[in-house]
Amino acid sequence: MTTRIFIGGLLFVAIFITVGYVLVNEGLLLVQEQDESGRMQAFAAGQDGRSIENGADMFTQYCAACHGDDGEGVPGKGPQLNPYLFTTRYPELKAANYPNSLRNFVKIAIAGGRPDYTAYWATKGETYAAPMQTWGDQFGGPLRGDQIESLTDYIMGWEAEAGQPVEIVEFTAIGNDVDQELPAGDAARGKQLWDKMTLYASAKTAPCSACHSLEPGQTLVGPSLASIGTRGAETVSGQDAYTYIRHAIQLPSEHIVSGFETADGRSLMPEGLGNDMSAQDLADLIEFLLTQQ
End-to-end CA distance of the chain: 101
The percent of residues in the chain predicted with pLDDT above 70, rounded, is: 81
Contacts with 241 (C-beta within 8 Å, 6 or more apart), sequence order: 228, 229, 230, 231, 232, 233, 290
Alpha helices in the chain, H assignment, sequence order: 2-26, 30-35, 39-58, 64-67, 84, 90-95, 102-112, 117-122, 145-156, 159-162, 187-194, 208-211, 228-231, 241-250, 279-289
Q: Are 171 and 184 in contact (CB under 8 A)?
A: no
Grade residue 17 by pLDDT with cuts at 50, 70 and 90.
low
The number of beta carbons lying within 10 Å of the beta carbon of residue 113 is 18
Residue 173 reports pLDDT greater than 90: yes
Please name each of the domains of the chain with its CATH number. 39-162 (1.10.760.10), 187-289 (1.10.760.10)
Helix, strand or coil for residue 53? Answer: helix
Across the strands, what pairs with 155?
none
pLDDT at position 264 is 77
Residue 97 reports pLDDT greater than 60: yes
Grade residue 126 by pLDDT with cuts at 50, 70 and 90.
confident
